[in-house]
Amino acid sequence: MAELGQDILEAVAKHEQPVSSLQLAEKLHQDHQKIIGAIKSLQGIPGLIEAEPESRTLWVLTPEGKEIATKGSHEYRVLQMVPAEGQKLDEIKKSFQYGQIGVNKALEQQWIEIDKKATGGPIIRAKKPASDIKDEVREIIQKLEAGDFLGVPDPVKADVKKRKLAQEQILKSLLVSKGPNFATSISKAETDLTVDMLAKNAWKEKRFKEYNFDALGVPPSAGYFHPLLKVRTEFRQIFLEMGFEEMPTNNFVENSFWNFDALFVPQQHPARDVQDTFFVSDPKETIRLPSQRYVDLVKQVHSQGAFNSAGYNYEWDDTETKRNILRTHTTAVSARMLRRLALKGFKPAKYFSIDRVFRNENLDATHLAEFHQIEGVVADYDLSLGHLKGVLSEFFKKLGITQLRFKPAYNPYTEPSMEIFSYHAGLAKWVEVGNSGVFRPEMLLPMGLPENVSVIAWGLSLERPTMIKYGIDNIRDLVGHKVDLQMVQSNPVCILDDRTEKMEDKKK
Ligand code: PHE
């Protein structure tokens, strides 16, 4: 390409007059389109050349037209062929490809006549000698081929087109002349402004390559985010927009006190079995429980009842509360944060977390022994179920989910509790999207929170919306050693539905 540009510049340098791209194509033995391309790229260099578009009409003869140009019109050839004494019609018709047309046209012109009654079949006779007649059709075709259109009246041109003897073509080309900064050598455009150029003032003389904003970027070879991380970023953004503060979730190992007891989950609850919970064998027990006063209040609420609650009425086990486990939910973190809030002196707060939890479950296509929970917590004076529904509507609206339904449910630590369902248009049914409730006084009052403070909370998994968003139907394709790294590299950024719409609204 650069070479062709060079050749074009040299050709233009030799001519005083502008040079047509058609001429260049002929001279340089190149395809016209290639010449046009090279001229266009030379135009990118300011002041080098000037190129004026021009267009030319061209008549291209069809094979039939070509035959007329070289051998004469069909009708004239027929007339030439007929001898003075006449000739059989059939023989004339068959004498060349266009014999039949020639006979018809010659009859029209009254150059010939047919004697139908002659013995042995019809006979053609000439009415005039060929030498008396000008073959005008041939002349017209020759003129058109030579580019002499002015000599041919429009109706005749139309007739030529109709007879399919020639086709009109518009040929677009460029007329190239020297620009104010014409040169026969192309200096290579600089792609970077260097310190050296600035220091020596050399940039003034340089030509810089223009930015190509349509160029595709080079894909990075590392640093791809897993879909879970992308969706987590979106959820985090939603919480931050709603004024929530992120909780510190950096402890996968938790003790049973925070994971269960502080949440008023009785020590005999089936969730606390080895079938459901992973217990840590070493160290088996925590050395760090909260203040004895608080632990004692929790123990009292469970075993005897307190704060107007009858409790569960059972024998409290001190070793059970110390047992280390892998946390089964992030509500353990929420409990720690609420206790901290009470100790600091209560102020309304909104917290969220998104992190990993562990359950000793049977593995299948949608369950692993570990997953991520998204949890939101709002603590304020006199909150009601209405507030919970309001916050949930706002939260899910930001995800593009507007149709919500609530179903009464049971959690040891919330009362009332509600499962959250949303209408899934694709599946055409209501699907469970989360769990929620108002934390029980048996949980909040031992912490030392004021009596008129309520805490509403909800939780959902990160995996479920991620699998829906990325169209993954087996959890093993998302998490674990069977994950296709190519999937991680090539999956698109996550923009949750409602947020996509918002971005489009902004564009309008
Ligand atoms: N901890 C619950 C779970 O693991 C979710 C939840 C959080 C429910 C907060 C109510 C309130 O499913």
DSSP letters for 48-105? SEEEEEEEEEEEEE-HHHHHHHHH--HHHHHHHH--TT-EEHHHHHHHSTTHHHHHHH
Can you tell me the distance from the alpha carbon of 300 to that of 313, in angstroms, rounded to the nearest whole number?
A: 9
- Two structure tokens written together for 392: 């949930």
Query: Total structural domains in the chain?
Result: 2
In a domain, 478, yes or no: yes
Q: Are residues 314 and 409 in the same domain?
A: yes
Residue 51 has a pLDDT of 94
**Closest ligand 1 atom number to CA of residue 377:** 9
Can you tell me the distance from the alpha carbon of 158 to that of 179, in angstroms, rounded to the nearest whole number?
A: 42
- Two structure tokens written together for 272: 């606390």
How many Å lie between the centroid of ligand 1 and the Cα of residue 263?
A: 11
DSSP-derived letter for residue 406 is E
Q: Are residues 156 and 259 in the same domain?
A: no
**Closest ligand 1 atom number to CA of residue 417:** 10
Residue 249 has a pLDDT of 97
Tally of CB atoms within 10 A around 288: 7
Q: Which residue's CA is the closest to the ligand 1 atom numbered 8?
A: 436
At 24-52, the pLDDT tens digits run 999 999 999 999 999 998 998 888 999 99
Report the DSSP beta bridge partners of residue 168. 59
Query: Which of these three, 166, 190, 221, is where a domain ends?
Result: 166
Q: Are residues 125 and 255 in the same domain?
A: no
How many Å lie between the centroid of ligand 1 and the Cα of residue 376?
A: 9
How many Å lie between the centroid of ligand 1 and the Cα of residue 338?
A: 15
| Residues with a CB atom less than 6 Å from ligand 1 | 329, 331, 375, 411, 414, 435-437, 457-459
Residue 424 has a pLDDT of 79
At 308-336, the pLDDT tens digits run 999 999 999 999 999 999 999 999 999 99
Query: In one letter, which amino acid is 460?
Result: L
How many Å lie between the centroid of ligand 1 and the Cα of residue 421?
A: 14
With a cut of 70, say whether residue 500 has pLDDT above it. no
HSE (side-chain half, CA atoms, 13 Å) at 287: 2
Q: Which residue's CA is the closest to the ligand 1 atom numbered 5?
A: 459
CA dihedral 5, 9, 15, 16 (to 10 degrees): 130
Q: Are residues 150 and 254 in the same domain?
A: no
Q: Are residues 157 and 83 in the same domain?
A: yes
212 and 78 Cβ atoms separated by less than 8 Å: no
Query: Which of these three, 134, 166, 198, is where a domain ends?
Result: 166
Decide: helix, strand or coil at residue 422.
strand
How many Å lie between the centroid of ligand 1 and the Cα of residue 460?
A: 7
Residue 94 phi/psi, 5-degree rounding, is -90, -5
How many Å lie between the centroid of ligand 1 and the Cα of residue 382?
A: 21
With a cut of 80, say whether residue 230 has pLDDT above it. yes
Q: Which residue's CA is the closest to the ligand 1 atom numbered 4?
A: 329
Question: Which residue's structure tokens are 């006779």?
Answer: 125
pTM, two decimals, is 0.60
Q: How confident is the model at residue 505 (pLDDT cuts 50, 70, 90)?
A: very low
How many Å lie between the centroid of ligand 1 and the Cα of residue 334?
A: 10
Contacts of 475-481 spanning 24+ positions with Cβ under 8 A: 475/365, 475/366, 475/367, 475/368, 476/365, 476/368, 478/227, 478/228, 479/228, 479/368, 479/370, 479/371, 480/368
Q: How confident is the model at residue 2 (pLDDT cuts 50, 70, 90)?
A: low
Can you tell me the distance from the alpha carbon of 362 to that of 263, in angstroms, rounded to the nearest whole number?
A: 25
Q: Are residues 267 and 162 in the same domain?
A: no
Can you tell me the distance from the alpha carbon of 387 to that of 402, in angstroms, rounded to the nearest whole number?
A: 17
Q: Which residue's CA is the closest to the ligand 1 atom numbered 6?
A: 459
Q: Give burial (CB, 10 Å; 0-12/13-18/19+) of 57.
A: exposed
Residue 506 has a pLDDT of 42
Q: Are residues 143 and 257 in the same domain?
A: no
- Two structure tokens written together for 206: 């340089």
* Residue in 375, 454, 463 to alter for ligand 1 test, most ligand atoms within 8 A of Cβ: 375
Q: Are residues 136 and 256 in the same domain?
A: no
Q: Are residues 318 and 399 in the same domain?
A: yes
CATH, residue 421: 3.30.930.10
In a domain, 8, yes or no: no
Q: Are residues 259 and 113 in the same domain?
A: no
How many Å lie between the centroid of ligand 1 and the Cα of residue 433?
A: 12
Residue 174 belongs to what H/E stretch?
strand 166-178
**Lowest mean pLDDT, pick from 225-229, 392-396, 503-507:** 503-507
**Closest ligand 1 atom number to CA of residue 436:** 10
Report the DSSP beta bridge partners of residue 27. none
Q: Domain range spanning residue 350?
A: 229-503
With a cut of 60, say whether residue 145 has pLDDT above it. yes
* Residue in 277, 326, 350, 411 to alter for ligand 1 test, most ligand atoms within 8 A of Cβ: 411
CATH, residue 103: 1.10.10.2330
Question: Which residue's structure tokens are 């169209």?
Answer: 471
DSSP-derived letter for residue 193 is -
How many Å lie between the centroid of ligand 1 and the Cα of residue 31?
A: 72
How many Å lie between the centroid of ligand 1 and the Cα of residue 429?
A: 23
In a domain, 29, yes or no: no
How many Å lie between the centroid of ligand 1 and the Cα of residue 331?
A: 6
Q: Are residues 235 and 161 in the same domain?
A: no
Taking phi first (over 0 means left), then psi (-120 to 50 degrees means alpha), and beta for anything else, what does residue 505 get? alpha
In a domain, 185, yes or no: no
At 67-122, the pLDDT tens digits run 999 999 999 999 999 887 888 888 889 999 999 999 999 999 999 999 888 888 89
With a cut of 50, say whether residue 504 has pLDDT above it. no
For 427-494, give the secondary structure using H, E and C. Answer: CCEEEEEEEEEEECHHHHHHHCCCCCEEEEEEEEECHHHHHHHCCCCCHHHCCCCCCCHHHHHHCCCC
* Residue in 247, 435, 461, 462 to alter for ligand 1 test, most ligand atoms within 8 A of Cβ: 435
HSE (side-chain half, CA atoms, 13 Å) at 425: 5
In a domain, 191, yes or no: no
The angle formed by the CA atoms of residues 430, 433 and 434, to the nearest 5 degrees, is 135
The most confident of the ranges 175-184, 342-351, 420-429 is 342-351
In a domain, 203, yes or no: no
Residue 208 phi/psi, 5-degree rounding, is -110, 140
In a domain, 38, yes or no: no
Residue 501 has a pLDDT of 46
Q: Which residue's CA is the closest to the ligand 1 atom numbered 10?
A: 436
In a domain, 212, yes or no: no
Residue 357 belongs to what H/E stretch?
strand 349-358
Q: How confident is the model at residue 258 (pLDDT cuts 50, 70, 90)?
A: very high
With a cut of 80, say whether residue 146 has pLDDT above it. yes
**Closest ligand 1 atom number to CA of residue 373:** 4
Q: Are residues 156 and 233 in the same domain?
A: no
**Lowest mean pLDDT, pick from 142-151, 237-246, 455-464:** 142-151
459 and 331 Cβ atoms separated by less than 8 Å: yes
**Closest ligand 1 atom number to CA of residue 334:** 9
Query: Which of these three, 144, 166, 188, is where a domain ends?
Result: 166
How many Å lie between the centroid of ligand 1 and the Cα of residue 354?
A: 12
Can you tell me the distance from the alpha carbon of 387 to that of 378, in angstroms, rounded to the nearest whole number?
A: 9
